[in-house]
């Protein structure tokens, strides 16, 4: 390494005062050499939320899943990002970070057993004691040829790292387990927010669970994409997008904070085909008083067609600003009041289908409802009605608008024998 390269890769003084974290990447025998020679660690989008949280100076490890070997110790010399080197790995692994070995690269065998003992998964950052324990394992279980020396070339720098971490008083600045995207169409989030920084205001009436937006942006956008929320409420979408490295614009007819732009969702102030994702958590009727603004759609009953006519204007605007092939997520719930059920979700879905191509529907458990108390649960049983237990998350895609000739599909189903 040249002196110029060494100086360029040295950490700024202020960064050395931050918490040192550790992250584990995976590779196979087929791409191990590309990782080590890059030197670039990379992964697919499922682990993108972890990679974008890596910052310059964090410690990294590479787990070869075929050989059950853990290589270390490496230091990130760039922040984790999206397509840092676009052509690397044939473009298959877009979430990447540049690395340098701290010293001679060591190979720790029986990696699966070591990581299991430390209770470490791919989405679990390491810091403080767990990070020290993993570094200790590299020193303790170094190859025999190195152990024959009193102080190996690799042990010195690793021991220095252990001492630095032991003496550090930096606070934990990243969650213990970074959420992975949900795999099913039933979502149940015990808390409104996630991570160390609150998203939105959990005391705001009808506040959106932050992990709904988290799941949508990680499935349907990339870092740097533009997300728009025309009914931004307490700002949950803004907070999630900022943490997940997306650009974001939040509008509301009655803003609750300074970074939300005052605007009516029926006329979004953006150009056609300019947005990568739209998320909307709209009123479900006039059951909640969101604001005193006279034009608030939340003043209209969901039992009237006027309510859906006004929401359709929002749907058209979302369609107009979305880029072709991009996604809209619309969160909506049904209504039951005074012995009358209104299928608000079905009615909204029907209107959305006039503009968008359906992709899927997710059921989101309703937690923290004021009606879900012992008194109301008892009433629901005695008086034979149901409390609202879920909302619909309707996921739609903007297509070209041209008729698509769908060919008949042949699907090879797996058929199971019925029990005798």
pLDDT tens per residue, range 408-420: 888 888 888 877 5
pLDDT at 147 over 90: no
Average pLDDT over residues 238-247: 98
Give yes or no for residue 149 having a pLDDT over 50: no
Task: Identify which has the larger pLDDT, 268 or 290.
Answer: 268
The whole-number average pLDDT for the span 363-374 is: 79
d(CA 304, CA 310): 11
**pLDDT exceeds cutoff 60 at 156:** yes
* pLDDT averaged over every residue in the chain: 89
- Answer whether 3-167 and 186-397 agree in fold: no
Q: In degrees rounded to 5, what are phi and psi of residue 391? A: -115, 160
- Per-residue pLDDT, 402: 60
Confidence band, pLDDT 50/70/90 cuts, at residue 368: low
Question: Residue 260 — very low, low, confident or very high, per pLDDT cuts 50/70/90?
Answer: very high
Write down the CATH number for the domain with range 3-167: 3.10.590.10
Mean pLDDT value of segment 98-104: 92
pLDDT value at 204 more than 70: yes
pLDDT, greater one: 39 or 10: 39
Kindly report which listed range (134-143, 221-230, 296-305) carries the lowest average pLDDT score. 134-143
Contact criterion met (CB below 8 Å) for 110 and 70? no
What is the per-residue pLDDT for 12? 46
Per-residue pLDDT, 186? 97
pTM score of the predicted model: 0.89
Looking at residue 403, its pLDDT comes to 53
Average pLDDT (77-100) is: 95
Please report the pLDDT score of residue 407 as a whole number.
Answer: 74
Domain-wise residue ranges, the chain = 3-167, 186-397
pLDDT of residue 376: 82
pLDDT band of residue 370 (cuts 50, 70, 90) is low
Task: Quote the CA–CA distance of 8 and 11 in Å, as a whole number.
Answer: 8
- Helix 236-243 to helix 210-220 angle, to the nearest 10 degrees? 50
CB count within 10 Å of CB 363 equals 16
Among the ranges given (100-109, 212-221, 263-272, 321-330), the one the predictor scored with the smallest mean pLDDT: 100-109
pLDDT of the residue at 143: 59
- Average the pLDDT over 245-273 and give the result: 97
CATH superfamily entry for domain 186-397: Vaccinia Virus protein VP39 (3.40.50.150)
pLDDT tens digits along 330-346: 999 999 988 899 999 99
- Whole-number pLDDT of residue 227: 98
Percent of the chain residues topping a pLDDT of 90: 71
């Amino acid at each position: 390494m040249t002196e110029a390269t060494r100086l360029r890769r040295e950490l700024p003084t202020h960064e050395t005062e931050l918490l040192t974290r550790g992250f584990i990447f995976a590779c196979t025998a087929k791409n191990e050499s590309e990782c080590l020679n890059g030197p670039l660690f990379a992964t697919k989008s499922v682990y993108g939320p972890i990679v974008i949280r890596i910052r310059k100076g964090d410690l990294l490890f590479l787990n070869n899943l075929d050989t059950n070997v853990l290589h270390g110790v490496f230091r990130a010399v760039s922040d984790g990002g999206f397509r840092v080197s676009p052509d690397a790995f044939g473009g298959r692994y877009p979430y990447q970070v540049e690395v340098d070995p701290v010293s001679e690269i060591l190979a720790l065998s029986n990696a699966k057993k070591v990581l299991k003992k430390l209770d470490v998964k791919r989405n679990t950052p390491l810091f403080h004691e767990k990070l020290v324990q993993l570094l200790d394992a590299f020193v303790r279980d170094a190859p025999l040829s190195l152990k024959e020396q009193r102080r190996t070339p690799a042990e010195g720098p690793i021991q220095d790292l252990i001492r630095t971490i032991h003496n550090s008083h930096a606070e934990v600045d990243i969650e213990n387990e970074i959420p992975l995207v949900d795999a099913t169409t039933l979502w149940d989030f015990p808390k409104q927010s996630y991570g160390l920084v609150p998203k939105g205001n959990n005391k705001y009436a009808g506040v959106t669970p932050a992990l709904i937006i988290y799941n949508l942006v990680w499935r349907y956008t990339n870092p740097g994409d533009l997300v728009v929320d025309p009914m931004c409420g307490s700002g949950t979408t803004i907070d999630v997008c900022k943490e997940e490295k997306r650009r974001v614009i939040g509008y509301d007819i009655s803003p609750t904070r300074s970074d939300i732009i005052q605007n009516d969702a029926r006329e979004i102030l953006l150009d056609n085909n300019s947005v990568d994702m739209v998320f909307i958590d709209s009123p479900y009727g006039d059951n909640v008083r969101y604001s005193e603004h006279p034009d608030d759609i939340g003043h209209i009953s969901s039992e009237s067609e006027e309510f859906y006519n006004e929401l359709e204007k929002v749907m058209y605007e979302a369609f107009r600003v979305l880029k072709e092939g991009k996604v809209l997520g619309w969160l909506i719930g049904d209504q039951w009041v005074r012995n009358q059920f209104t299928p608000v979700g079905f009615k909204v879905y029907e209107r959305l289908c006039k503009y968008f191509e359906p992709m899927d529907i997710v059921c989101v458990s309703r937690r923290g409802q004021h009606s879900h108390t012992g008194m109301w649960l008892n009433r629901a049983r005695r008086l034979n009605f149901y409390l609202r237990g879920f909302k619909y998350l309707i996921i739609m895609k903007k297509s070209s608008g041209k008729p698509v000739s769908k060919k008949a599909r042949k699907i090879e189903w797996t058929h199971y024998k019925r029990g005798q």
